[in-house]
A and B are shown apart, each in its own frame.
Chain A
Amino acid sequence: MSFKHYGSRKSGSVGWLLQRITGIFLIFAMVGHYILMHYTPETGHSYEQSIARFSNVYWKMFYLTFITLGLWHGLNGIWSILRDFKMKSWLAITLYGIIVISGFAFWVLGVSTALKF
């Protein structure tokens, strides 16, 4: 059975469900994000506008959610692609480690940027 190569007995069903829930959130968030950023080539991109949004508590909450769920959705997706391959356990653990560590590092970078203002 494949699961023994991943050091886990989880079927992945929780990940499957969360992937869909975060995906539904990201559909709406992405539509809003694109309208805001590209209504004209300049909208949303200036320093002042970005700072104003990050200084607003509601926008801040939105961005923190966006960063968190976006990263989780993307990295869980990458991991579920990798799980389709038959990997030696050392390779699976290494790749999983890279996903978790890099994901956490970029999450900290994103969150610290949003919280600075």
Chain B
Amino acid sequence: MSMIASTKRRFDIPALLAWFIIAMAAIALFSPVFSPDFAITEVPRLAICLVLLAILGVRYELGFMRNQVGDLILGLVAAAAAWLLIDTAGRHVGDAALGFWTLTAATWASAWLFIERLANWKGMSPLASRFIDLAIPALFGATILVLWQLIVTGAGVPKVLLPAPSEIWLRLTTSVPILWADFQQTFMKAVLIGYVMGCGAGFIIAILVDRVPFLRRGLLPVGNLVSALPIIGVAPIMVMWFGFDWPSKAAVVIIMTFFPMLVNTVSGLAASDAMQRDLMRTYAANYWQTLFKLRLPMAMPFIFNALKINSTLALIGAIVAEFFGTPIVGMGFRISTEVGRMNVDMVWAEIAVAALAGSLFYGLIALAERAVTFWHPSIRG
């Protein structure tokens, strides 16, 4: 059935990938895999890797087992080949030669082929297809990590320039107490408190501006001015005002998150149309009833936009603000000091933590948005 789907295309990508795998394996057979002059036969693990990939490519081209079991074997072979390459590369750091790179390319192609086949699986139960929908981006990410690992170790890229994922992972797992303390200091205190206060203040001022028209002319330009302040200039001043600890970082976060929330809420409150407001008038609804029953629900898509924008701004603000004076804990502090000590793997570990925390934060807000604005055309689909 997936044959039909693939023959419709101008290029049969899976078949091309399989040919590519065979070609790469053939080159690897006759080239040195590591310098100085290691042939494939002298590195048994890579010989296994080559045989597996060659069988996989030929099998696919012959059309044998083009079904889900065959596809799963494809995935296992790709994973095994990746593991064999990573393992051998770790013993010959910086010595990779042509054969190694062709095997890397073949492994990458087999992972692509696997994802390509997986995406075309049909007739799955809703749960299984949901799982596959999640697995595809995860596999994609894993492929990138494997390539990163192989290129960095194979080519012997200096650690200061780019550490391998395995080194970052090692650093992450061995420095959990430090990372956790930094996370608490920066994320749980500066980011979350600043975020809640900045968004809350933006929201309340927006209501005020809406309720008292003359403030619209007075406060909105001031808000605009605050948003235009460069964080690099504001952060040291906040450190002077609120001290070295997290309150000064929270203040920077407040300044960064306040304005997006203010502007979005103000335009959200104007989003209801004349007929909807007339309707509330015919019910003799007062200002607050109209606000809570019509205008705030109507503003929710705008408010969630601000919440999402602010979730990333808050993290950036807190980390950058720590560059300008901080106690000896915090993600930004760690990044700036470990860079100075050439411990780049620690910097990457902090980046990984920040990326993970930021994504989860954003994801939670996006989930809340789906629940609250389920009625909006962009979500109800």
Tell me if chain B binds chain A: no
